[in-house]
Chain A
Amino acid sequence: MRRRLIPVNVVIAALVFVLLSLDPDQSKPPPVVMERGKAVYAKECLSCHQQDGLGVQGMNPPLAKTAWVLGPKRELIKIVLNGLTEPIEIEGDTFHNPMPPHPHLTDQQIADVLSYVRNSFGNKASAVTAREVKKVRAEKKI
């Protein structure tokens, strides 16, 4: 009887693990969005933030596991639309190159690329919609 207890625990743990990994994340963007986002990333972002999203030391900040990317969507959308001119600091490292504004991208393209970035390079965060981008674009620039 006592011997049985351990394997039962293991089985339960394994089941939970399998269930957790199978559990569909409601916020994960569908493959078609990820594909479109990847294409925008390759054209607009990759040369600075690199293929692996880890950026370039001292110049272009990483996009992986940082609050700049995983934090409030409105702030992130604003950065893509308006750019950033001041150096930013992540974990003690300063990144000096400016982020150019990208007003030439459509609401859908920005939504796609941000959904892609928020769910690539080890990131996991809710998708961004074109409606959300449209709303931020309509705000008066501060």
Chain B
Amino acid sequence: MKTIKWHLSCLVFAFMIVASACAEDSRNLNDTVVLHPSSAGQAGLILPGGFAATTVAENLGRVRHIAVNSNGDIYAKLERLKDGKGIVVLKEGNAAQMSSFGNYPGTGIAVKDGYLYASSNSAVYRYKLSASHAVEDPDNPETIVKDLTDRGQHNAKSVTLDDAGNIYVNIGAPSNSCQVQDRAVGSKGQEPCPILEYAGGIWQFNARKLNQTQQDGVRYATGIRNAVGISWNSSTNELYAMQHGRDDLHRMFDNLYTDKDNAELPAEEFLLVKKGANFGWPYCYYDGEQQKKIVAPEYGGDARTQGRCEAVDKPIMAFPAHLAPNALLFYTGSQFPERYKNGAFIAFHGSWNRAPEPQAGFFVVFVPMKEGKPGGNWEVFADGFAGSAEKKASGRVDYRPCGLAQGPDGALYISDDNKGNIWKVSYNGK
């Protein structure tokens, strides 16, 4: 009798192994469908009708910003070195022809007037591009600016270039709200905020002059906490930026802000950055619902008072709080339908400071523009990066949009710094 039982249990065991192996197979199959829905032509992304996406590259590392040269070469800047290198090149956008160089991590990258510009967290470099579109001397870049503030927090030195030989560099404030003790409950805001002397703004430098330090540049605009997405708009000849708003209103001022308030305040701001502009950080933040700049609680604010903040420059558009806009691109191509021309694409990295409320963002947004200002509401252009609603809510997402670039054929490229994907979005509708 015992023998029969033993055989029976062996049989059951064997069956379970086979069954679980089958289950494993079917799950893998599903995963494959989700990850490579090339038949659907969207590469896992959700796009408006007529648009299609392909995955150009996967697992490149922490890809921050990307730039595409006129021949289709893609340059990706890594936040963390991979095999000791910080810039990846995909020759003519082909992942099979990949190489890398540059021994520093960072965020910024741009191609302009025959040079590749790239930034570490404390310097900006450039590399001469040859007539055949190759980086001539990858091991010996020229230093454009050096010794910029890098105290860890908000150290991404995003760059953008105008058409008059200037380069603009984001120098984020190494602080949340310029308290005496950063992010500490009860610590007062410094008045005046000494950080604004050397950070919390966008600086302008000569893009062709070597070995500059911060003193050689001009503080183009101030009162900007951190703007990872900055872009020169050649159609209006103006600088634009996406500000990351401050954190922790509830944790530090629970008498003024609930958890829910904290998830919705302050707005992420789309800024038209005129020379000499002051957007108010750390004294002010923008309340998207009241549509006003409000005095920050570290500076005596009560969540409603406008006071000194009435005088500071306002955003041209407000976005939900904490979504972390990391890239801004004005579309100049002619592949996409007419309404996209000169409009703004914004890559939102996704939130963390909305917790315990559900996290949000992790998408690419489009803003139609008219005469340099938003010409309509913002809309989600590319979504699906998170992987599922649950992953989005928890913030444990598959991909985090971080960089944008436009290809010579007018396609839009999107990069992710979680796994290191690059997608190419094209329009094939009629």
Contacts and interface: CB of A to CB of B under 8 A. Distances in A.
Contacts of B394: 50-52
B23 to A, nearest CB: 24
Contacts of A85: 182
Contacts of B3: 3
Interface string A1-40: 0011011000000000000000000000000000000000
Interface size class of B (residues with CB under 8 A): 20 to 34
B114 interface: no
Nearest to A57: B418
Interface majority SS on A: helix, strand, loop or mixed?
loop
Contacts of A90: none
Of residues B80, B152, B182, which shows the largest number of chain A Cβ atoms within 10 Å of its Cβ?
A: B152
Contacts, number: 69
A90 to B, nearest CB: 13
A98 B183 contact: yes
Contact of A56 (B2, B187, B254, B352): B352
A102 B152 contact: no
Interface in A82-137: 83, 85-87, 92-94, 96-98, 100-102, 104
Contact of A3 (B2, B79, B250, B396): B2
Interface string B195-238: 00000000000000000000000000000000000000000000
A66 interface: no
B262 interface: yes
B356 A100 contact: no
A46 interface: yes
Contact of B182 (A3, A92, A100): A100
B14 to A, nearest CB: 15
Contact of A42 (B80, B181, B356): B356
A43 interface: yes
Given A44-B251, A51-B394, A83-B181, A94 B186 contact: no
B352 A50 contact: yes
A87 B155 CA distance: 12
B356 A46 contact: yes
Given A83-B181, A96-B154, 14 more contacts: A3-B6, A47-B355, A50-B352, A50-B355, A50-B394, A51-B356, A97-B183, A98-B153, A98-B183, A100-B181, A100-B184, A100-B187, A101-B184, A104-B186
6 smallest CB-CB distances across A and B, nearest first, come from A96-B152, A100-B184, A87-B152, A56-B352, A100-B183, A96-B153
Interface of B: 2-3, 6, 79-80, 152-155, 181-187, 247-248, 250-251, 254, 262, 352-353, 355-356, 394-396, 418
Interface of A: 3-4, 6-7, 42-44, 46-48, 50-52, 54, 56-60, 83, 85-87, 92-94, 96-98, 100-102, 104
29 contacts: A3-B3, A6-B6, A7-B2, A42-B356, A43-B251, A43-B254, A44-B251, A46-B356, A47-B353, A47-B356, A48-B352, A48-B353, A50-B352, A51-B355, A56-B395, A57-B418, A59-B352, A60-B352, A87-B152, A93-B80, A94-B152, A96-B153, A96-B154, A96-B155, A97-B152, A98-B183, A100-B185, A101-B181, A102-B185
